[in-house]
Amino acid sequence: MDMLLEVERLLIEEDAGRAPMYFEGEVRLIEPFIKNFVYQPFGGSPDVKLWRVAR
């Protein structure tokens, strides 16, 4: 996100003709008993084969 903000700042300072209009986001609520969940911040599907349920 810091890199996107830096690029946006550079675009504005250099009087660019275009800039990002929106950013997509995703939120996941993971129960605390789900172990080995790996968040993929730059896309990709969750790798569920590593998940474990620890109750």
What is the C-alpha separation between 42 and 4, in angstroms, rounded? 13
DSSP state of 50: G
Identify whether the C-beta of residue 51 lies closer than 8 Å to the C-beta of residue 36.
yes
Q: In this predicted structure, which of 16-25, 27-36, 43-52 has the lowest mean pLDDT?
A: 16-25
pLDDT at 29: 82
For the chain, which residues make up each domain, given as ranges? 2-53
Element containing residue 9 per DSSP (H, E): helix 2-13
Q: Indicate the average pLDDT of the chain.
A: 81
